[in-house]
């Protein structure tokens, strides 16, 4: 069933659907066609159980809240719908439309960001005021607004639900638009997790000064050993030191977080599995 509206409203009346114009501040751009069809069937069978909210506008009325109910009524072939008429300014219309969708958790993060930005730019209110009016935390509003700094290609992916809001926030750690778009496309292809993307976008630690011990270890390597050491560093994306002691020695691999350790381990174990499959194939 469609979204609820406060029951204490009085003065319900009926209006022809053609008397009601859309809400110009409706933040939702994406519509669930299947959900709307189901609602239309319910309206056809039971009618509109919760009145729409409208305001007087020009020579008719303008919708404040209840867009899905109005569309469902149109699809169901109704000519009239129950409404409550209330006085409402432009800013309150946008706020009510936002609250209605947020309460139903039926609004996309990019749609929310557009609406927050419109409240701030058109009506001159602060992020703190947006958060208070909409029952959101200040950091939540700020983080959602930051998604608008992502490249348009990535915003479209968020709007279409191809990547999640968490993934969008992880991409904000990058500065290069081309790199962000490329990683977004990889997320879509490979289904990368938020944790994986956060590890990939986390700034690398600054290189540490090379110790005398490391220099000494490097001096013990021949040209092939130094080349192998460099190749290991490139392959693993971290500092690798080969310590040669005659015919034996040790390989030291550094990591800087649990995620970094997981990444390095996965890389090594993947190579190990690849070798095992080759051995199995020749058996």
- Nearest of 39, 105, 107, 111 to residue 78 by alpha carbon: 39
- Average pLDDT rounded to a whole number, residues 79-105: 77
User: Could you report the per-residue pLDDT of 178-195, keeping only the tens digit for each?
Assistant: 889 989 998 999 898 998
Q: Please name the residue ranges forming H helices in the chain.
A: 33-46, 67-75, 90-103, 109-123, 127-134, 138-146, 152-159, 165-171, 177-190, 194-201, 212-219, 223-236, 258-282
- Domain ranges, ordered by start, for the chain: 13-89, 108-149, 150-201, 212-278
pLDDT at 84: 87
CB 206 within 8 A of CB 179: no
Mean pLDDT of the chain: 78
User: Could you report the per-residue pLDDT of 222-232, keeping only the tens digit for each?
Assistant: 777 777 887 78
pLDDT at 94: 75
Q: Is 35 helix (H, G, I), strand (E, B) or coil?
A: helix
The pLDDT of residue 25 is above 80:
no
- Residue 85: both structure tokens together: 């008429």
The answer to whether 67 is a known catalytic residue is yes
User: Could you report the per-residue pLDDT of 84-95, keeping only the tens digit for each?
Assistant: 888 888 877 777
pLDDT at 102: 65
Q: Is residue 267 classed exposed, middle or buried when 0-12, 13-18 and 19+ CB atoms within 10 A define those classes?
A: middle
Catalytic residue among 10, 45, 67, 213: 67
The pLDDT of residue 78 is above 80:
yes
The pLDDT of residue 282 is above 70:
no
pLDDT at 280: 46
pLDDT at 71: 87
The pLDDT of residue 5 is above 70:
no
Q: How many Cα atoms within 13 Å fall on the side-chain side of residue 51? A: 18
Q: Is residue 168 classed exposed, middle or buried when 0-12, 13-18 and 19+ CB atoms within 10 A define those classes?
A: buried
pLDDT at 2: 41
- For 13-89, CATH gives 3.90.1530.30
């Amino acid at each position: 069933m469609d979204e609820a509206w406060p029951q204490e409203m009085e003065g319900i009346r009926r209006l022809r659907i053609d008397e009601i114009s859309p809400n110009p501040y409706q933040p939702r751009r994406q519509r669930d066609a299947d959900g709307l069809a189901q609602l239309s069937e319910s309206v056809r069978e039971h009618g509109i159980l919760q009145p729409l909210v409208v305001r007087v506008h020009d020579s008719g009325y303008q919708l404040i809240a209840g867009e899905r109910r109005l569309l469902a009524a149109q699809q169901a072939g109704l000519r009239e719908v129950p409404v409550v008429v209330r006085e409402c300014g432009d800013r309150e219309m946008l706020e009510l439309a936002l609250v209605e969708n947020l309460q139903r958790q039926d609004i996309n993060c990019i749609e929310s960001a557009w609406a927050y930005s419109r409240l701030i730019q058109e009506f001159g209110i602060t992020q703190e005021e947006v958060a208070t009016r909409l029952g959101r935390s200040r950091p939540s509003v700020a983080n959602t607004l930051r998604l608008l700094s992502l490249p348009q290609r990535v915003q479209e992916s968020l709007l279409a639900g191809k990547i999640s809001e968490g993934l969008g926030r992880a991409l904000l750690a990058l500065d290069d638009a081309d790199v962000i778009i490329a990683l977004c496309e990889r997320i879509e292809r490979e289904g990368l997790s938020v944790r994986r993307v956060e590890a990939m976008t986390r700034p690398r630690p600054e290189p540490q000064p090379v110790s005398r011990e490391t220099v000494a270890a490097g001096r013990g390597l021949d040209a092939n050993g130094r080349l192998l050491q460099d190749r290991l560093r490139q392959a693993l994306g971290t500092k690798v030191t080969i310590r040669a002691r005659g015919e034996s020695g040790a390989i030291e691999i550094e990591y800087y977080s649990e995620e970094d350790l997981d990444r390095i381990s996965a890389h090594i174990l993947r190579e190990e599995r690849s070798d095992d499959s080759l051995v199995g194939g020749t058996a």
